[in-house]
């Protein structure tokens, strides 16, 4: 079981990086959340029954762990450190407007609730509504409703005309 778990985690660790990246700006916070997600995955691995894809189950555990951590951090705002996202591009590829737009989008996403962040993360990962529903544990119709509300909220935050 240990080797199988490690193999699956290794193959799918990008999921954890994506989740920690959307919930944490500070590199140290990302590392802490990464460790916490690994602990929660290990604790709940025995309950994984292969009824869904491993990656779907992994997203669910990672997002639930991140949302819990996000709620705890929200209660202690002095512990939150906000840092600008840094983008590493070569000089030839450097696109100031693109980088600025990414920063603005990231700042807007920071203002969303934990569940909203989960949904937008999965949406930006090109997950279908059906898979988002499976990962988050909400109905597909509610995912659609939430996604429409999230888009409107982000447009309002970014002052984008609809």
Question: What is the CATH classification number for the domain harbouring 118?
Answer: 1.10.10.10
Q: Cα–Cα distance between 65 and 34 in angstroms, integer?
A: 10
- Which among 36, 59, 83 is the end of a domain? 83
| Count: domains in the chain | 2
Residues 23 and 63 placed together within one structural domain of the fold: yes
Q: What letter does residue 112 receive in the DSSP assignment?
A: S
Residues 95 and 159 placed together within one structural domain of the fold: yes
Tokens standing for residue 108: 């807007």
Q: What are the tens digits of pLDDT across the range 1-21? A: 588 888 888 898 889 988 888
Residue 105's pLDDT band (cuts 50, 70, 90) = confident
- Which among 38, 63, 83 is the end of a domain? 83
Q: Domain of 48?
A: 1-83
The Cα angle at residue 28 between residues 25 and 34, in degrees rounded to 5: 90
Residue 75's pLDDT band (cuts 50, 70, 90) = low
Residues 100 and 77 placed together within one structural domain of the fold: no
Q: What are the tens digits of pLDDT across the range 147-159? A: 999 999 999 998 8
Residues 65 and 109 placed together within one structural domain of the fold: no
Residues 70 and 99 placed together within one structural domain of the fold: no
The model's pTM is 0.58
Residues 77 and 3 placed together within one structural domain of the fold: yes
- Which among 66, 83, 100 is the end of a domain? 83
Helix, strand and coil content of the chain, in percent to the nearest 5, comes to 75, 0, 25
Residues 63 and 113 placed together within one structural domain of the fold: no
Question: What is the CATH classification number for the domain harbouring 33?
Answer: 1.10.1740.10
Q: What are the tens digits of pLDDT across the range 19-53? A: 888 888 888 888 999 999 999 999 998 888 888 88
Residues 115 and 149 placed together within one structural domain of the fold: yes
DSSP string computed for 47-96: G--SSS-HHHHHHHHHHHHHHHHHHHHHH-GGG-----------TTT--H
Residues 134 and 71 placed together within one structural domain of the fold: no
The Cα angle at residue 105 between residues 9 and 111, in degrees rounded to 5: 85
Q: Cα–Cα distance between 81 and 85 in angstroms, integer?
A: 12
């Amino acid at each position: 079981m240990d080797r199988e778990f490690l193999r699956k985690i290794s193959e799918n660790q990008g999921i954890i990086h994506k989740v920690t990246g959307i919930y944490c700006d500070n590199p140290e916070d990302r590392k802490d959340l990464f460790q916490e997600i690994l602990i929660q995955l290990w604790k709940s691995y025995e309950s994984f029954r292969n009824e869904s894809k491993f990656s779907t189950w992994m997203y669910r555990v990672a997002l639930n762990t991140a949302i819990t951590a996000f709620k705890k951090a929200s209660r202690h705002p002095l512990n939150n450190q906000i840092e600008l996202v840094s983008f590493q591009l070569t000089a030839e590829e450097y696109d100031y407007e693109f980088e600025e737009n990414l920063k603005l989008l990231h700042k807007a996403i920071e203002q969303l609730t934990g569940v909203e962040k989960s949904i937008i993360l999965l949406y930006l990962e090109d997950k279908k509504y059906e898979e988002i529903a499976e990962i988050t544990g909400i109905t597909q119709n509610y995912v659609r409703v939430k996604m429409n509300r999230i888009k409107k909220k982000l447009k309002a935050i970014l002052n984008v005309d609809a």
